[in-house]
A = this chain, B = another copy of it.
């Protein structure tokens, strides 16, 4: 399977799962942000992990779509005026700019219940595994995951923070969802604990590399490339690697995490062309 093959399956399923129903407005708002040309990195990584270990990916489809919905939920709420106040996302107006703030908040809330219901309804797996997958999902979604990252991110604006806090923010805000995707993929493949530990490390390094590259391109790329307002981090005095270390040292750190990802793949003999290409793409993103 190629990245694009997985992506097509995910797009098709997301479109099927979120059918317009009554009240129409909320479904349209959910569809607007979920079917919005995203990269689908996280769901593809879930399916690829599952396929890499077990040789098939099909039973990961509902969970992969659920994780993409969770990702979109976090973006809808993060973009709100009282949060990061972004007018554009992926080159299109943000949800609240199109549907208004109240609908944007409610469609985020709706996705937080809709996503786990997709796992419950459509995952053809044992009930005990379903419960474990849901628990993993909520760990990433909640106060130990992206919420912790976002609240510390907002709280750190304009402040001098420690390197530990910067790592904490990036780990929770970004790595948590990659971890969740890869761990669920591994759990669905009945991976043992040692495998799960290695894959978790991989996800953490991948998330960190991804976030550092995001910090860098926010500083160096145009609206056309980013699909959102550039230099937003600097303007709102966000805690970023670039602010902490400058561009050159951030590029070094990015290289370090990408190398760690490759090392983990190699030492565990994880054979995945897709993961290798993703790591390369992250490094090339900043050129």
Contacts and interface: CB of A to CB of B under 8 A. Distances in A.
Interface of A: 21-23, 25-27, 30, 73, 77, 80, 82-83, 100-103, 105-106, 108-110, 112-114, 116-117, 120-121, 126-128, 130-131, 134-135, 138-139, 141-143, 145, 147-148, 150-152, 154-155
B120 A105 contact: no
Contacts of A138: 113-114, 116-117, 120
Contacts of A143: 21, 26-27, 30, 110, 113-114
A151 B138 CA distance: 25
Nearest to A128: B127
Contacts of A145: 113
B113 A26 contact: no
Contacts of A112: 109, 112-113, 141-142
Contacts of A80: 102, 105
Given A127-B130, A131-B131, A82 B109 contact: no
Contacts of A142: 109-110, 112-114, 117
Contacts of A82: 100-102, 105
Contacts of A148: 22-23, 26
A154 B102 contact: yes
Copies per assembly: 2
A38 to B, nearest CB: 20
28 contacts: A22-B148, A25-B151, A26-B143, A26-B147, A26-B151, A30-B143, A73-B109, A77-B106, A77-B109, A80-B102, A82-B105, A106-B147, A106-B150, A106-B151, A108-B109, A109-B141, A109-B147, A113-B142, A114-B143, A116-B116, A116-B138, A117-B138, A117-B139, A117-B142, A120-B135, A121-B135, A127-B127, A131-B131
A250 to B, nearest CB: 25
Q: Which 5 A-B pairs have the closest CB atoms?
A: A113-B142, A82-B101, A113-B138, A127-B127, A127-B128
Give the interface centre of A121, A138, A143 by most chain B CB atoms within 10 Å.
Answer: A143
A155 B103 CA distance: 10
Given A23-B151, A26-B143, A77-B106, 8 more contacts: A26-B147, A26-B151, A82-B102, A83-B105, A106-B150, A113-B142, A114-B138, A114-B143
Given A105-B80, A134-B134, A25 B155 contact: yes
A46 to B, nearest CB: 18
Contacts of A150: 106
